[in-house]
Each structure stands twice: as structure tokens, then as C-alpha cells.
Amino acid sequence: LFLGPCEFVKGVVAMEGLPPADRLEFCMAGRSNVGKSSLINALTGRKALARTSNTPGRTQEINFFALADTHYMVDLPGYGFAKAPVAVVAKWQALLKNYLAGRQTLRRVFLLIDSRHGAKEVDEEIMSVLDRAAVPFHTVMTKIDKPRPADLEASLERTRQIIAKHPTAYPEIILTSSDKGDGVETLRAIIAGLN
Ligand code: GTP
Ligand code: MG
């Protein structure tokens, strides 16, 4: 499955800057450094469409990518710890929550969780924002090339228990590695089915 041509549209730092809500939209959300931008690159087969980095806090704007004429794929700044000034981080976090709760055309969220750690309290906070806004989300474990099998199993189990408490969560957890390509076709199929 191929997503078709994809191009960067704009980076947004305030709700007023959002592009017109005239397409279906889905986004990548998750803690800083979890692998959101890398997954966008893996999905589109482009190495550097979205900028990635070892340093948490790389993506600092809400980045819109146009998929064909019908969808926006959105890369969000991370939440949680980031190597940036406190006031700046606080501003992204507020924007992020406003976007997740208030974007009319947002159809689906991919909520990324590091497979070495499992879901954390900050992830639960975001899940609650999505519950209240009735925006359905898929839980996506990232970097599954990294943990030992027993550690992956433990963080999966912890994450399953957490998402079971959230009515807007899809029950299946999608295992991915942007480096190795695991899970990428599964995600493309979900995206292709969005309407
Ligand atoms: P912020 O924009 O800072 O919130 O981070 P992000 O969630 O966009 O993460 P990003 O895609 O920039 O990746 C963070 C780091 O994790 C980079 O060094 C990536 O190379 C690495 N990474 C991402 N996905 C994978 C993966 O599947 N496997 C491995 N081993 N490393 C990964
Ligand atoms: Mg990023």
C-alpha cells in the first residue's frame, strides 16, 4: 500500500495558524523523542520529510503534511520532558491539548508509546483529553527493535491495562519499528481506511 505523494504544508505555533479545516486529518502524538517524526518518514518512504533528532524536543511546531488532496497528516511536538526552555515547552503543551481537543476534522490519533517503557502518566493525561473530545486513538508501540522480548512483553501488558480504561482507545496495540519497517503496512492500511 502506498500513501501517494506527500508534501509539507506548514508549521503552526498557535491555533489561529491552523490551515482551513477542509480535509480529513490524523496525527502522531506522543512523548518527546518517542519516534513520531521518524514514523512519518517510514510511512511515506521519505528519509527526511519530517526532521528527527536524538534530542527530545526536536519538533516544536504542529507540522502539516498534505496527502493527495484529501488528508492532512500531522506531526506534533512531543509532550513531557524536552530540551527547551520551560516557558516554551508550556506553550507547546497548551497548543497541543487545544489542537487535540478542538480540531474538528481530526479523525484519528496515533498515540505513540516507547516500547521500552510502556504508557506513562503523561500519556494517560493525553488519553483523557482524547476521551473527553471523543477523538478515537490507536496505541502504537515504537522502537520495537530495541527492547528485550521480556521487557517488551512487560511494557505491552502495562499499556494494555492503561488503555482498557479509555473508551476512545482501539483495543489492539500496533507494534512498530521505523528503523526495520515493522507495523508500517498495518498503519498504512488504517490510514487508507480513514474517511
Ligand atoms: P520530538 O520531535 O522531539 O518530540 O521527537 P519524535 O517523537 O519526533 O522522535 P524522532 O522521530 O525525532 O526520533 C527520536 C530518536 O529516536 C531519533 O534518534 C530516531 O532515530 C530514534 N528512533 C525513532 N524511531 C526508531 C525506531 O524504530 N528504532 C530505533 N532504534 N530508533 C528509532
Ligand atoms: Mg518530532
pLDDT value for 68: 83
Q: What is the CATH number of domain 6-192?
A: 3.40.50.300
Is it the case that residue 1 has pLDDT exceeding 60? no
Atom of ligand 1 nearest to the CA of 176: 27
Is it the case that residue 69 has pLDDT exceeding 90? no
Q: What percent of the chain has pLDDT over 70?
A: 99
SS3 of 30, please?
A: strand
pTM of whole model > 0.80?
yes
Q: Whose CA is nearest to atom 14 of ligand 1?
A: 33
Residue 10 pairs in a beta bridge with 64
192 Cα to the center of ligand 2, angstroms: 23
Return the best residue to mutate from 41, 44, 53, 74 for the ligand 1 pocket (most ligand atoms within 8 A of CB): 53
pLDDT value for 121: 95
SS3 of 149, please?
A: helix
Report the pLDDT averaged over residues 186-191. Answer: 96
Q: ipTM > 0.90?
A: yes
Ligand nearest to the CA of 55: 1
